Structure 1
């Protein structure tokens, strides 16, 4: 989704409120950034789709 699409869906007031809230958040520690980087970079290697595990969505319910 592009910025323009988000703006059209959420509206300028909501986007501005989100930006203000994000600006209030403290900076992340280097340790947290490294941990998140590992999760985001290698997540596809850790988890296989349910079909690849021999299961389907109906079995989860």
Structure 2
């Protein structure tokens, strides 16, 4: 799986990440498989230890 992202610090311990992904999949019924991809938006929040934690996520397959 390849993934590209762009993280933007929003201040106040919040950041937004705009991602794109490509994935190769295989199935027992379809051993040749295929590829797929899509986009995602992730909202990150720093906890009390200042560690980034995923707060919300939304994605869309192409």
TMscore range, shorter length: under 0.3
Larger CA Rg, structure 1 vs 2: 1
Q: Which has the higher helix share?
A: 1
Higher-RCO chain (CA-CA 8 Å, sequence separation at least 6): 2
Give TM-score, length-normalised by structure 1. 0.20
